[in-house]
Structure 1
Amino acid sequence: MGRLFTNNLNIGYGEQIIVNDLSVSIPDKQITTIIGSNGCGKSTLLKAITRIINHHSGNVLLDGKDILKENTKALAKKMAILPQSPESASGLTVGELVSYGRFPYQKGFGRLTKKDLEVIDWALDVTGTFDYKFRPVDALSGGQRQRVWIAMALAQETDIIFLDEPTTYLDMAHQLEVLELLQTLNIEQQRTIIMVLHDLNQAARFADYLIAMKDGKIVKAGNCEEVMNHQVLKKVFQIDAEIGRDPRTNKPMCITYNLLKGENKHEENSIPSHFALSAHS
C-alpha cells in the first residue's frame, strides 16, 4: 500500500454525491493519471484528496494519518497542488510568485531566509524559468506560465504533487514540454505525481498507473496495459476504440475510435479482472 490512499470516500456538493464510496491507493514515486469523461468526478476527487473541499464520509490517509486532522502547514510540506485554473498572478514577477511556495516554512513576519531563496532559485532552474525571474508573470506565454506555476509547487519541497489538467489551453509543443518536465521530476527526484488529463494517448505515454473513472466510481485502475484497452474505453467513454502501439514507447495508444450508438452505447457489461489487450496492427 502506498503512502496515500482513500477509504470509502463520498464527495459531493450539497446533497448531490459526485464521488461514491471510492477506495484507491496511489502508488508512491510514480506518475498516476486519472482519466474519464467530463463530470465523472476526476477534479472533485483531486480537490478532496488535497483538502480543497471536504468529503461527506470516508477518509483520506497520508502516512497513516487522516488529512482532515493534519495541521495546514504540515500538510503543505507533504503535498502541493496546481489547480486547473490557477488564480491570477497579475502584478507579480516570476520570482515573487514562486516564493509563495515557501509559505509553509515561513515564521513570524514571513521574511524569506537564505534557504528559501536557494530553494526558489533551484525551482526556477529545474523548470527552465530562471531567466524569467524578474519578468512579470503576465508577460509570459501559456507554456512558460505553466512551468512557473510548477516551479511554485516545487518550491514547497513536497514529495507529492497534484495537477489538474496541466496541459489545458496549451499547444502541442507546450503540452509535451510540461509533461516531459513532470516525467523528469518523477524519474530524477522520485516525486509522486498525480494528475488529471483529457488526452488518452498522453495519459498512456507518461503514466505508470492509470485510474479510469465513470459516474464518480473507478471502472478500472492499474498499469497502462490493464486500463488502456478496448473494453475499458468502451465502458468509460462509450467509444469503439482501435488500440495499437506507440512506436516510440511501445505503450498502448488509441489509433482511432467511433462513437457507440443505439443500445450499445448504454451497455454496462462487466469487465473481467484479466483480459487480453485488444491490439490491432
Structure 2
Amino acid sequence: MTRFFTENVHIGYGDSLIVKDVSLKIPDRQITTIIGANGCGKSTLLKAMTRIIPQQSGSIILDGESISREGTKKLAKKLAILPQTPESISGLTVSELVSYGRYPHQSGLGRLTKRDWDVIDQALEMTGTKDFKYRTVDSLSGGQRQRVWIAMALAQETEMIFLDEPTTYLDLAHQLEILELLQRLNAEEGRTIVMVLHDLNQAARFADYLIAMKDGQIVKTGTGEQVISPNVLREVFEIDAIIGKDPITEKPICLTYSLIKGDKNHEKIYATNRTATSSYS
C-alpha cells in the first residue's frame, strides 16, 4: 500500500487556482523530485502536502488518513518540512534550533529528556554539524545553516522529509554536499525524501522518481529517463534540449538547450547540438 498520495487536489489563493486536479503517489523510501518552470505550482503543492496551506478540494492521504484530520503532533511524527527560506531567531544556538525538532515527542511539560538529547546529537553527527553545536545559527555559512536545518528535520524522527528548493543560494560545492546528504539519508536510513529542485541535472542525478509540472498540473511522472527527455522538457519548459548520459552516474543529463520561441539561432543551435549528442549516447 502506498503510504502517501493525493487524489484530485485543487489548491489556490483566493479566486486564483494554482494547482489543478492533481493525483499522484509518492514512492516509499525513495527520493522524489518535483520540477517545473517558475510559478507552475511546485512549492504550492509541496506546502499543501505538508499542511502548511489547505487544499480547496480533493484528498491528501497519509497512512490511510486525510492529513487535514490528523492532529498536529501526530502528523509531525510522520513528516517534516524544510521550507525554501527558513528563518531562525537571532542568537539561537545550533543545538537549540535542532531541539525544536523534538517538539512532537515532548510531554506537556516540554522538557528535553536524555533520549531527546541523544537524538539531537545523532542528528548533528549525521549532518556533520556537531562541531557547531554551541555556535549561533546566524554565524554559520549558508551551507552549514542548511545542514543544521536538515538536522532539525532529522531530530523530528519522521520517515518522510519534504524540502522546498534546499540548494537555493548555495554554491555548487554546497549544493552537492546537501544533495549527497539527502541521498545518504535515503540509502542508509530509509527516509522518504520529497523535494522541489530547479536544476534539471541535479534532479536527474539524485531522484528515483520525478514529477514534472506545468500550469498547476502534472505533465509527466516516472524515472529520470522517462521525464528528462526532449519531448517532456519541450512541453514543460518550452525548450529544445539535447539529452545525453552522464559518463559517471549513467543518469540523463541536459547537455544544452535553446528556446523554442524568440531564439533566432534556434534551428542552427538545435541542429549543431543534435549532431554533438551522438558521442554521448
TM-score, reference length from structure 1: 0.93
Deviation at 1:144, TM superposition (A): 0.3
Mapping of residues 114-153 of structure 1, within 5 Å = 114-153=114-153
Q: Determine the structure 1 residue equivalent to 2:157.
A: 157
Give the letter for the 1:182 counterpart. Answer: L
Mapping of residues 119-268 of structure 1, within 5 Å = 119-261=119-261
Measured in 2, the distance between the counterparts of 1:83 and 1:12 equals 19
Mapping of residues 106-121 of structure 1, within 5 Å = 106-121=106-121
Deviation at 1:108, TM superposition (A): 2.0
Deviation at 1:262, TM superposition (A): 5.8
Deviation at 1:91, TM superposition (A): 1.1
Q: Determine the structure 2 residue equivalent to 1:267.
A: none
Q: Determine the structure 1 residue equivalent to 2:41.
A: 41
On the 8 A contact 2:88/2:137 being kept in 1, the answer is: no
Farther off after superposition, 115-124 or 82-91: 82-91
Measured in 2, the distance between the counterparts of 1:241 and 1:157 equals 40
Runs of 4+ with >6 A deviation: none
SS in 2 for 1:21: strand
Measured in 2, the distance between the counterparts of 1:222 and 1:240 equals 20
**5+ long unaligned stretches in structure 2:** 264-276
Q: Determine the structure 1 residue equivalent to 2:269.
A: none
C-alpha RMSD of matched pairs (Å): 1.1
- After superposition, give the CA deviation of every residue in 1:208-254 in whole Å (9 maximum; x if it has no partner): 00000000000000011110100000000000000001111001110
Give the letter for the 1:71 counterpart. Answer: G
Matched, 1:86 2:49: no
Q: Determine the structure 2 residue equivalent to 1:270.
A: none
Give the letter for the 1:161 counterpart. Answer: I
Percent identical among aligned pairs is 70
SS in 2 for 1:261: coil
Give the letter for the 1:36 counterpart. Answer: G
Farther off after superposition, 108-117 or 198-207: 108-117
Q: Determine the structure 2 residue equivalent to 1:19.
A: 19
**5+ long unaligned stretches in structure 1:** 264-278
Deviation at 1:178, TM superposition (A): 0.2
Deviation at 1:88, TM superposition (A): 2.6
